[in-house]
Amino acid sequence: MTEAFRTELDADGVLSIVWDMPGRSMNVLTEAAIRELADIVERVASEPGIKGAVISSGKESSFSGGADLTMLEGLSRLYATEMAKSGEAAAAKALFEGSRRLSQLYRRIETCGKPWVAAINGVCLGGAFELALACHRRIVSNDSSTRVGLPEVKVGLFPGAGGTQRVARMLPPSDALQMLMKGEQIRPDKARAMGLVDEVAPKDEILSRAKAWILAGGKAVKPWDEKGFKLPGGPVWSKAGFMTFPAANAIYRRETQDNYPAIRAMLQAVFDGLQLPMDLALTVESRLFTKVLRSKEAAAMIRTLFVSMQELNKGARRPAGVPKSELRTLGVVGAGFMGAGIAYVAAQAGLDVVLIDRDEEAAAKGRAFAEKLISGQVMKGRATGAERDALLSRVRPTADYGALKDCGLVIEAVVEDPNVKAEVIGKVEAVLRDDAIFASNTSTLPISGLAKASKRPENFVGIHFFSPVEKMLLVEVIQGRQTGDKAIATALDFVRLIRKTPILVQDSRGFYANRCVIAYLLEGHLMLAEGVPAAMIENAAKQAGMPVGPLALNDEVALDLGLKIIDATRAQAGDAAVNPAQEKLLRAMVESNGRLGRKNGKGFYDYPEHGKKRLWPGLKDLQPAQLDPETVPIFELRHRLLVTQALEAARTVEEGVVTDMREADVGAILGFGFAPYTGGPLSYIDGMGPRRFVQLAYALAEAYGPRFRPNRLLLDLAETGETFYGRFAGEKPAAAA
């Protein structure tokens, strides 16, 4: 058996425990690692010669990312086995006992009678930070890579190994709940100010300080295990408690629309746990954690936002047998908003960037945009002045295409005009070296059509960034009809280098993400044309789990762009491909009222210079009729907004645009915010069951039109009883929970 931990007892009686899993770039909590750590804990507790223990990491830039969530698949199998063998009660008990082993192990650490210190360098997240919280002291390095946090809510869970109970006893409840609900990674100084860690020290001192604390008589008892311990924020049933928990529940409802059972359970765990002794509180936490484990939301989010995303980030879709590209210099043609953003993220990743535009002044503006972004990071304490200067030194603005001769990859980010792009392709290929790759950052134009202007279509690929580039995590890599494996591999390597998640899609107009987004926007437009109050449309979208309503989203991408897409669609596919109600609404907004969206401060919303955006009152005048909101079924609006996107996702699978179910779900959540609690549009369909989804789609089609008619693939899945993941990813149906 491969050991995850190395131990060494020094002459002073301090046991050094070094977590260093061989063959992994980062330590994770696996079943084997947990068993090994349990044996070490018992050794510390039982050997008289051991005065205390220091746990650290043998990895250069990380402590641990936490638990390997694929362990939960084992718990699901355990539940299914026990259910079949002994019934639901026995299965629930087995799941409860299995899921609380880590919690019990951490409780053993803090009550073993010997002091434990966590010496942390790099990221320490999730179950690993819960381990640190169970230790009697936490010393973290001041290295720029160091972060601590409990991000479980982002994958449909909550900290179930004692995290909710320890944090709520270390911080005032309002601060604890905010930290737990956000799931953010916290920098060392902030963690120290919050009281989550005890010391911040240089990296090369954390081990010596940890040992010194133990030898100076470090206390092996936690405050909550001492008589007379008082909660930082006072009792739950107090004036302060009444000011905290009702407000926290209201914030939860507002922010999540009650779509996330893990966050609801976490609130309950804190509320109930703070009224109990620690051991009982941990039992309550474990029972609630077990309940969340059985939810379809947790299963879907873990699969998409952890397992699938991790696999895609590690190159699951990279062509086999292609050597890794060694990119050093990137070319970006077009120094506007998108091009400057691409240059910024590339320079941030350590690449030298040649930034081209029509003249030196325009190119310099792109570099100035990058300077503005990095300066903002410096102002927030997230980067240093030296890091800013180093980044800017890597961006070279110029109008000389000859400067691209040493680039391994060139990305064009000019206007969405095939003629302009063709001209750029010619200029770039005239100087580009033979083995270099050319990529087009286009949001709608088919790559195969653009590649006709290239002399080397096998080296031509699409790389579609989302706006704003520096914030959006998704990048679509588009394979044209003649795109070769080397071009795909280079694009995927580049996306990984800039720390974004790639999905590989086949060529089509709008590709994948924009097709689903366009369907979402269309539904919002048609609801407005029907007379549904604008505020009701936006609120229904948020209740359905979307981050913003379709009208607000349209303002962000620009209303005049929507009109251009309508015109381009008509030119390519004829009048029948354009919805007249949508066109009438957008022409009234753009051409009659000059409302272009956020970019000119006037769209479906008004954007005052000082103050929050608000829906434009004039929208009522554009509605042929206005429906009484009391007569509009809100649940139907929610269904329409999700089903229309899921249907479009299903069509892309049938058409072969998306060939990997993981990419459809990950891409939808990262690219346009499809309700994360569902796990993505295909998981949404699978979770409901294709048969039931088809029935819902037919009902909507009868009420609102043929755009809701299910495609042939969906009908086939409904008839056979299969799911998307069952047919295309080989997954067996999960046991009912």
Catalytic residues: 464
What residues form DSSP beta bridges with 15? 9, 53
The angle subtended at Cα 597 by Cα 593 and Cα 602, nearest 5°, is: 55
Closest CA to 242 of 233, 232, 230: 233
In the sheet that holds 395-398, the strands lie side by side as 395-398, 352-356, 329-333, 409-412, 437-440, 460-465, 474-479, 501-506
8: left (phi over 0), alpha (psi -120 to 50) or beta: beta
Please name the residues in contact with 137: beta carbons below 8 A apart, sequence gap of 6 or more.
Answer: 115, 116, 117, 118, 198, 199, 210, 213, 218
220, 51 Cβ separation under 8 angstroms? no
Residue type, 69: L
Closest CA to 141 of 118, 116, 117, 120: 120
The token pair at 273 is 């746990």
| CA 433 – CA 436 distance, rounded (Å) | 6
| CA 305 – CA 310 distance, rounded (Å) | 8
| CA 715 – CA 44 distance, rounded (Å) | 61
Alpha helices by DSSP H, listed for 655-689, are 661-672, 681-688
Block residue for tokens 């629930």? 92
The token pair at 101 is 């082993």
Alpha helices by DSSP H, listed for 545-679, are 550-557, 559-573, 580-587, 634-654, 661-672
Q: Is 229 helix (H, G, I), strand (E, B) or coil?
A: coil
Please name the residues in contact with 596: beta carbons below 8 A apart, sequence gap of 6 or more.
Answer: 558, 559, 560, 590, 602, 603
| CA 259 – CA 642 distance, rounded (Å) | 14
Please name the residues in contact with 403: beta carbons below 8 A apart, sequence gap of 6 or more.
Answer: 331, 354, 356, 396
The one-character DSSP state at 9 is E
Closest CA to 648 of 466, 489, 511: 511
Displacement of CA 381 from its chain's centroid (Å): 23
| CA 584 – CA 534 distance, rounded (Å) | 17
675-711 burial code (b ≥16 CB/10 A, e <16): bbbbbbbbbbbbbbebeebbebbeebbeebeebbebb
